[in-house]
Structure 1
Amino acid sequence: MNTHLKGTILWSGKRDYEGFLCTLLLPPESRNSVLALRAFNVELSQAVQKHKLTKRWLTRVIDEREKNLDSRAYRNIKELETYAENTQSSLLYLTLETLGVRDVHTDHAASHIGKAQGIITCLRAVPFHSSKRQVFLPVDICILHDASQEDFIRGSQEKNVKDVIFDIASQAHVHLEHARSFQNKVHIAAFPAFNVTVPLDGYLKRLRKSDFNIFHPSLQRRDTWLPLSLYIQSWRKNY
């Protein structure tokens, strides 16, 4: 049993004892999932009450995740950005609310950071999806560079594939730079929520170093310097 599951079980038993006991009697193949759902349900209720979270951000995340179950490629980069806005950006808005920050400039930065995060998450998943013979990259950019799904499935390192990755990564970079362009207007209390820019920058840097070969082994390894980089950024009070 992994550590995360143990924590979920202990948590569930403490907050929802009766539901926890009932769940233990479920078949093993469904038990773990139901424990996670019950923990999510109780914690969500308490988090919303404690921080008076805006419920539309929560429903946007759930609705967008549900739509994404279709497992299809994004038609264009705009569609990918919309998905990122409704999931990653919404989670950042909620994080800001737990920090007591409700500010239009800060939300604007969160929107762009969330979009960058969503785009980069899509890129990072390319090797895994390709190994399953699935490609979810924006179709319009693939067509622009005459890159087929089969090119990604076979792990091609040709220029047309790299050009697709370059264009998508560039859009993530644009969002990060836009978010930073009005950094002096962002509430200082929001900066911890934006530490996510550290791993995003790190991935883009490694991607450039690999000449936009999305299948390069360096992109699959964990960044051992990340904890230190996060500490330095939090100390500098920027993003």
Structure 2
Amino acid sequence: MPDLSFCAQQVRRQDNDRFLCALFAPAARREGLFALYAFNLELASIADKVSEPLLGRMRFQWWREAVDGDANGNAAGHQVAGPLARTVAESGLSTASLLALIDARERDLDDRPIPDQAAFAAYAADTAGALAEMSLDVLGIAEAAAHEAAHHVGLAWAGLGILRSLPFHAVRRRLYLPAESLEAAGSTAQEIFSGKASPALRRVVAEVVEWSRHHLNAARMNRGRVLAAALPALLPAVLAEIHLERLRRADFNPFDRDLARPAPWRVARLWMHARRSRF
């Protein structure tokens, strides 16, 4: 593989699933996707890197100014902000969408749990859902069917991502599962923070798996109306299906160590689906 840009390296290391999907994009659009995904990684990591919310808000504000072309003139030379600015200039990606993603990610600084399923869905839509649709903007795809499909793929990916990162967040005493669902199942945050996969937690995980599958099915209702050029933004659906099935086989235990290992045959599955223009 040729030498990778800084953004591509970051995505390859920290968001390998999206990295693989982006490789199916035309070469002229690929770096734009890497810049967008590296930007998302920067935002998603802020809450884990700061010792208090004020410091996090300062970082988010820097990114707002960077997206607006300010940031004391430092943004152009930044390893992610610079490529992101070029992506905005070269594609249909809007700064308003980027600013909305910053606002959504800033909510991660709030230690209060997500209260209910509606708030959970809104968080998913504003983060991974929005990112999937922005990926289409980078690819130059404006058709409504593709954006509807990307929205649902993003929601499914968000639900899956929350489950996959649960062990990581549990150590940091952060929780993204709906408090209402946990209470109804008889589970508690303290139980999860202790790393226990109780029957109650497994029931909640199963619910999120089913919710994610629902959105994958909704996305695929648009298959016949989506251009093949949109595939790089929609191929995460293929990997989501693999990861959801692995969770089911693990009896919905998010702490199962086998889940941390790369899924076998995922590259082959991606290639087969891309060759058939399916997601």
Residue 109 (str. 1) matches residue 149 (str. 2): yes
Corresponding residue for residue 196 of structure 1: 236
- Matches of residues 64-213 of structure 1 in structure 2 within 5 Å? 64-213=104-253
Identical positions, percent: 27
In the alignment, the residues of structure 2 paired with residue 37 and residue 62 of structure 1 have an alpha-carbon distance, to the nearest angstrom, of: 20
* TM-score (structure 1 length as normaliser): 0.81
Shift of 1:144: 0.9
- How has the CA–CA distance of structure 1 residues 149 and 197 changed in structure 2, closer, same or farther, with 3 Å as cutoff? same
In the alignment, the residues of structure 1 paired with residue 138 and residue 122 of structure 2 have an alpha-carbon distance, to the nearest angstrom, of: 24
In the alignment, the residues of structure 1 paired with residue 252 and residue 172 of structure 2 have an alpha-carbon distance, to the nearest angstrom, of: 21
Shift of 1:154: 2.4
- How has the CA–CA distance of structure 1 residues 106 and 132 changed in structure 2, closer, same or farther, with 3 Å as cutoff? same
Task: Identify which range, 154-163 or 226-235, moves more after superposition.
Answer: 154-163
Is this contact kept in 2: 1:61–1:90, CA < 8 A?
Answer: yes
RMSD: 2.4
Corresponding residue for residue 54 of structure 1: 94
State the AA in 2 paired with 1:190.
A
Corresponding residue for residue 229 of structure 1: 269
Any idea what the Cα deviations from partners look like across 1:190-230, whole Å, max 9, x if unmatched? 12221111221111000010111111122111123222121
When the two structures are aligned, how many residues end up with a matched partner?
212
Shift of 1:35: 8.8
In the alignment, the residues of structure 1 paired with residue 77 and residue 154 of structure 2 have an alpha-carbon distance, to the nearest angstrom, of: 25
Structure 2 unpaired stretches of 5+:
11-73
Corresponding residue for residue 36 of structure 2: none
Corresponding residue for residue 43 of structure 1: 83
Structure 1 unpaired stretches of 5+:
9-33
- Matches of residues 3-14 of structure 1 in structure 2 within 5 Å? none
Corresponding residue for residue 216 of structure 1: 256
Q: Which has the larger radius of gyration?
A: 1
* TM-score (structure 2 length as normaliser): 0.70
Is this contact kept in 1: 2:113–2:178, CA < 8 A?
Answer: yes
Any idea what the Cα deviations from partners look like across 1:127-182, whole Å, max 9, x if unmatched? 11222333331101101101111221222233211101111111111111111122
Any idea what the Cα deviations from partners look like across 1:16-68, whole Å, max 9, x if unmatched? xxxxxxxxxxxxxxxxxx89981222222211111132232211111111122
- How has the CA–CA distance of structure 1 residues 54 and 36 changed in structure 2, closer, same or farther, with 3 Å as cutoff? closer
